[in-house]
Amino acid sequence: MVHLCLDFEGVLIPEIWQCLAKEVNSDDLMLTTQDLKDYDELMSLRMKVVNEKNIKLSDIQKIVRDIAPFDGAQEFLDWARSKFQVTIVSDTFYELAWPLVEKLGYPSIICHNMTVKNDKITGYKLRQPNNKQKVIEALQSLKFKVFASGDSYNDINMLNTADLGIFFQAPKHIKEEYPHLLTASSHNELKKILEEHIK
């Protein structure tokens, strides 16, 4: 049995922080891991905006509840779960992502936690440094063959460590930096690539 690890935002769902950015009119919140390689730098910027604009956890959760998964994401995930053991490995947070996990039928997800006091976001706790790569390595240590797909800089170590790494709708500048990785432009194309490598 092959284990398939998928990024969440950018592969199955829209970017949560970008949806928030549109609601609160913040250019800084439009930045994602497709723009900044340093995740802590990105999250520090996000925390700064959250504090400056007095954005509460409940404010973000309300927006998240109105977000829909990408067209075709549910069908792809259903297919993938019939062929692989599937785990979502994401740099999002349980406190933000859970309504979307629910919409997708509660797939397994490994991500981080926010620290919250009286509805105020005070910070965040990483599952572990370089979590995505370490999840792949842990599964491989259990003798699983592991395939993975993601779209951003924070997915590179995961994709390089997996037995098969595939970009999903990654921007041109990232694909050009890592031309050795396969790339899919749609869920159907990702399905086709995965089918070709199931042995």
Q: pLDDT (tens digit, 9 = 90+) per residue, 135-192?
A: 999 999 999 999 999 999 999 999 999 999 999 999 999 999 999 999 999 999 999 9
Handedness of CA 61, 66, 30, 8 (dihedral sign): positive
Fold of the 2-16+66-197 domain: Rossmann fold (3.40.50)
pTM for the predicted model, two decimal places: 0.94
| Candidates 9, 91, 95, 151; catalytic one | 9
pLDDT of amino acid 123: 93
Given a cut of 80, whether residue 122 has pLDDT beyond it is yes
pLDDT tens digits, one per residue of 20-67: 999 999 999 999 999 999 999 999 999 999 999 999 999 999 999 999
Q: What was the pLDDT predicted at 172?
A: 96
Active-site residue, 9 included: yes
Q: Do 121 and 163 form a contact (C-beta atoms < 8 A)?
A: no
pLDDT at 18: 96
**Residue 106, pLDDT above cutoff 90:** yes
Contacts of 66 (CB under 8 A, 6+ apart): none
Catalytic residue list contains 40: no
| pLDDT at position 199 over 90 | no
Q: How confident is the model at residue 126 (pLDDT cuts 50, 70, 90)?
A: very high
How much is the pLDDT for 105? 95
Per-residue model confidence (pLDDT) at position 1: 85
- Do 146 and 140 form a contact (C-beta atoms < 8 A)? yes
Helix (H) or strand (E) holding 24: helix 16-24
Could you tell me the two tokens for 26?
């913040």
pLDDT at position 45 is 95
Instruction: Report whether 10 contacts 16 (CB < 8 A).
Output: no
Q: Which of 7, 15, 95, 155 is catalytic?
A: 7
Domain boundaries, the chain: 2-16+66-197
